[in-house]
Amino acid sequence: MERGKEKIYVTRSSMPPYEEYIEAIKPLWESHWLTNMGVYHMELERQLKEYLDVPYLSLMVNGHMALELAIQVMDFPEGGEVITTPFTFISTTHAIVRNHLKPVFCDVKLEDGTIDETKIEDLITEKTVAIVPVHVYGNICNVEEIQRIAHKYNLKVIYDAAHAFGVNYKGNGIGSYGDASVFSFHATKVFNTIEGGAVAFGDGKLYDKLYNLKNFGIRGEELVVSVGANAKMNEFSAVMGLCNLRHVEEAVKGRKTQCEVYEKQLKSVRGIRFFEKDSTTNKNYGYFPILMEKEYPVSRDILYEKLKEENVYARKYFYPLTSDQACFKNRYKKVELKTARELSQRVLVLPVFEGLKEMEQIRVIDVIKNPV
């Protein structure tokens, strides 16, 4: 490795100007109201509902608890089966299992990495209660077909939309599909609240139920109506979200430019291909994955190591599959996952983040063009 080369990570947190955030949090020193659904929490909830174009939205402490509580609020019977994808972050599967439900892994599609809707019906049994698909890298699942299947078999649909912040499908906010959609506002996402997340949904009755779940079931000074957890977003995170939301369009625009640089420079490289584009959705440019074909001179893992030698830290999203992790392997129904396993061994996500310089991208591109 050449001395003096700064590390380039796969992502870096977007942050507002320092002075803007400091000015915005000053009132917290006057009010001392730091949590428990304060004024900034409520304002961010309102603004995100509008920005994401969803009927209802409930803020959470992080994306994982948002998903866990979105599943819990549906009151599924213990031991029920949930059809989901193994090509995702481990949180998706954890949220299902921690609700005492059984994940049934469905294969994905090679063209975009989302759940293969043509294989869902074959996995449905009398124990199936829900489908938890994942919008991968901002690629959107076949929401119409999934809803058709769900309606036919009376199943709930809860989308993991952690990668799909700000994405619209056919003019509708992606969070308006299914019975619920879950967003992550983790520090590494296109939009962040340091840590945070939200559940979007269409049934207004779920708002109070989610409120109870995220706030110990407390509905008054001396009244606790149900058993709940503590999944509230604090005011410092809410302020960060309000600040970042002012700049998110600019951040997405910068990411778009970076992705265009990669695509222009790499489209002619033999053995490198990209996921298919969908003209019915906008992109949030949260990730730039490449797929290594057999024609490429080295394997994905060798390229990954060569990039590391140059202080470039790409990521093997998602490897191993969640179904192959030690905590889940051989515990659940065995399903053929040929495409998901193939993708997990071929995909490499390149650095994309606000402030990434083109000269830094060229460092990445040079390694990919000259791997041997």
- 68-93 confidence digits (pLDDT tens): 999 999 999 999 999 999 999 999 99
Exposed, middle or buried: residue 50 (CB in 10 Å: 0-12, 13-18, 19+)? exposed
Tell whether the torsion through CA atoms of 159, 161, 165 and 171 is positive or negative: negative
pLDDT at position 5: 83
* pLDDT > 50? residue 3: no
Helices (H), the chain: 18-31, 39-52, 63-72, 90-97, 143-153, 205-214, 235-266, 300-309, 338-346, 358-369
Q: What is the CATH number of domain 8-12+247-369?
A: 3.90.1150.10
CA distances from 347 to 48, 268, 274, 339, 361 (A): 31, 18, 10, 12, 18
Q: How confident is the model at residue 311 (pLDDT cuts 50, 70, 90)?
A: very high
CA dist 308 and 316 (Å) reads 12
Q: Which residues pair with 313 in a beta bridge?
A: 9
Residue from 91, 133, 107 nearest 341 by CA: 107
Residue from 368, 362, 360, 366 nearest 9 by CA: 360
CA dist 118 and 116 (Å) reads 5
Q: How confident is the model at residue 2 (pLDDT cuts 50, 70, 90)?
A: low
CA 322 to chain centre: 15
Residue 279: what are its φ and ψ, rounded to 5°? -75, -10
CA dist 320 and 17 (Å) reads 37
- Residue spans of the domains in the chain: they are 8-12+247-369, 18-242
CA atoms within 13 A on the CB side of 271: 16
Report the percent of the chain where pLDDT is more than 90: 96
- Transcribe 140-188 into DSSP letters: PP-HHHHHHHHHHHT-EEEEE-TT-TT-EETTEEGGGSSSEEEEE--TT
Pairing of strands 197-201, 180-184: antiparallel
Cis geometry, peptide bond prior to residue 318 (ω within 30 degrees of 0): yes
* pLDDT > 80? residue 50: yes
Pairing of strands 347-350, 81-84: unpaired
- For residue 73, the 8-state DSSP code is T
Given CATH 1.10.8.60, say whether it is the number of domain 18-242: no
Q: What average pLDDT does this structure show over 124-138?
A: 98
3-state secondary structure of 249: helix
> How confident is the prediction for the chain on average, in pLDDT?
96
pLDDT at position 277: 87
Other residues' Cβ atoms within 10 Å of the Cβ of residue 333: 12
Q: How confident is the model at residue 334 (pLDDT cuts 50, 70, 90)?
A: confident
* pLDDT > 90? residue 198: yes
Q: How confident is the model at residue 178 (pLDDT cuts 50, 70, 90)?
A: very high
The region, left, alpha or beta by phi > 0 then psi within -120 to 50, assigned to residue 166 is left
Residue 132: what are its φ and ψ, rounded to 5°? -120, 85
Q: To 10 degrees, what angle do helices 300-309 and 358-369 make?
A: 130
pLDDT at position 284: 97
Structure tokens at 223: 């009244």
Q: To 10 degrees, what angle do helices 358-369 and 235-266 make?
A: 50
- How many helices (H) and strands (E) in the chain? 10, 16
